[in-house]
């Protein structure tokens, strides 16, 4: 099979029993079976310390697994690392930059280190990569003067110097302000629409939900679940939300009707829906004199799915 070519329906990334155990501790990654479809934006989700970066370092051939196997673009890693990595762009644990060089000169050096890169078109590639991540105006500034967010952008530009089959991003929006986050998310969508598979690790649930088509959830080194984002959320019933000025009465009636986890706020009461006809619940509210201005079951979010799967809260905003 040609390097970088996949058999029909073969995942871009597949692991089987992938494990990394450090001496004297519990496994950092424990028997991971992961499958990343070609063309997906795949969110690798978990709290800090859940094993995401260790997994990525094994996938990229940077560290050896203790046991198990990993295939990237159809090739075994780390054995085929030289054949695979030219097809992969990666930003892992922040970019390694030369602080005394400008952003542009850093990228020129990165490109020069690629033996397959044509030196005649180097400056064109660097200019295009800088423009794509919004660093054109700062291209002449020394990298040591860059903010953390700008350094993230420059690292992403380095990963985009050449067309890639796979882009691996470890916490790509770390250090970015909300506008920068939106721009990186937009860029990820754009890359995916061009046919690049994007593997994006994050501890931000809303980031995964906004940009990803598929996701896997990690906790304490183990895979909790994986699948399409829509499927993960669809497996969880959404919250019943009642909009009313009579929140105390509404909360009482919902509890009487069998609703769980009832929470009241300003003009709004939410709860886990009871196992009965919701029209009856609405009628009970009206009969009790509650002025119902809104009554609906909101679609379950990835946060709801995570809490249902693990029983734990999650760092939604970072």
Q: Is the pLDDT of residue 188 over 50?
A: yes
pLDDT average, residue stretch 169-179: 82
| Angstrom distances, CA of residue 229 to CA of 189, 236, 303, 305 | 15, 12, 11, 10
273: nearest Cα among 293, 243, 295: 295
Confidence tier at 265 by pLDDT (50, 70, 90):
confident
pLDDT average, residue stretch 127-136: 92
Confidence tier at 315 by pLDDT (50, 70, 90):
very low
Q: What is the pTM of this model?
A: 0.74
Name the CA dihedral angle for 18, 43, 91, 66, rounded to a multiple of 10 degrees.
Answer: -10
Q: Is the pLDDT of residue 190 over 60?
A: yes
DSSP 312: -
DSSP code string of 135-191: -GGGTTSBGGGS-HHHHHHHHHHHHTSS--SEEEEESTTTT--HHHHHHHHHHHHHH
pLDDT for 307 equals 61
171 contacts: CB under 8 Å, gap ≥ 6: 201, 202, 203
pLDDT tens string 10-44: 899 999 999 999 887 788 999 999 999 999 999 99
Mean residue pLDDT across the chain: 85
pLDDT tens string 297-313: 776 566 666 666 555 55
Confidence tier at 74 by pLDDT (50, 70, 90):
very high
Helix (H, G, I), strand (E, B) or coil at 14: strand
Which is it for strands 197-202 and 214-219: parallel, antiparallel or unpaired? Answer: unpaired
HSE-CB at 166 with a 13 A cutoff on CA atoms is: 26
Higher-confidence position of 203 and 201: 201
Rg (CA), the chain: 24
pLDDT for 150 equals 86
pLDDT for 1 equals 42
pLDDT tens string 214-256: 999 888 899 988 988 877 766 666 778 999 999 999 999 999 9
pLDDT for 200 equals 92
Helix (H, G, I), strand (E, B) or coil at 130: helix
pLDDT for 4 equals 47
23 contacts: CB under 8 Å, gap ≥ 6: none
Contact at 8 Å (CB) between 304 and 239? Answer: yes
pLDDT for 142 equals 95
Euclidean distance between CA atoms 34 and 55, whole angstroms:
10
H or E stretch at 110: helix 103-112
Euclidean distance between CA atoms 219 and 97, whole angstroms:
31
pLDDT for 234 equals 63
pLDDT for 233 equals 66
pLDDT for 254 equals 93
H or E stretch at 18: strand 13-20
pLDDT for 288 equals 94
pLDDT for 248 equals 92
């Amino acid at each position: 099979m040609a390097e970088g070519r996949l058999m029909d329906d073969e995942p871009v990334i597949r692991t089987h029993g992938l494990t990394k155990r450090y001496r004297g501790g519990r496994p950092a990654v424990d028997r991971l079976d992961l499958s990343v479809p070609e063309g997906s934006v795949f969110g690798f989700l978990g709290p800090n310390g859940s094993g995401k970066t260790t997994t990525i370092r094994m996938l990229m051939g940077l560290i050896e697994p203790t046991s198990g196997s990993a295939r990237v673009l159809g090739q075994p890693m780390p054995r085929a690392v030289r054949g695979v990595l030219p097809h992969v762009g990666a930003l892992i644990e922040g970019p390694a930059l030369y602080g005394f060089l400008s952003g542009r000169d850093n990228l020129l050096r990165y490109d020069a280190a690629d033996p397959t890169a044509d030196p005649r078109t180097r400056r064109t590639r660097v200019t295009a990569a800088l423009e794509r991540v919004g660093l054109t105006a700062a291209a002449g500034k020394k990298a040591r003067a860059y903010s953390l967010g700008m350094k993230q952008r420059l690292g992403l530009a380095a990963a985009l110097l050449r067309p890639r089959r796979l882009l691996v991003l470890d916490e790509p929006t770390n250090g970015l302000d909300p506008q920068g986050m939106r721009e990186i998310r937009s860029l990820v969508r754009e890359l995916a629409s061009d046919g690049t598979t994007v593997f994006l690790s994050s501890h931000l649930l809303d980031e995964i939900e906004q940009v990803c088509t598929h996701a896997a959830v990690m906790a304490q080194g183990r895979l909790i679940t994986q699948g399409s984002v829509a499927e993960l959320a669809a497996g969880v019933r959404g919250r019943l939300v009642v909009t009313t000025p009579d929140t105390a009465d509404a909360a009482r009636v919902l509890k009487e009707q069998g609703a769980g986890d009832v929470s009241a706020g300003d003009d709004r009461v939410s709860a886990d829906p009871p196992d009965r006809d919701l029209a009856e619940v609405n009628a009970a509210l009206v009969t009790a004199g509650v002025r119902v201005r809104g009554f609906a079951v909101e679609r379950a979010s990835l946060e709801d799915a995570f809490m249902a799967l693990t029983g734990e809260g999650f760092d939604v905003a970072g």
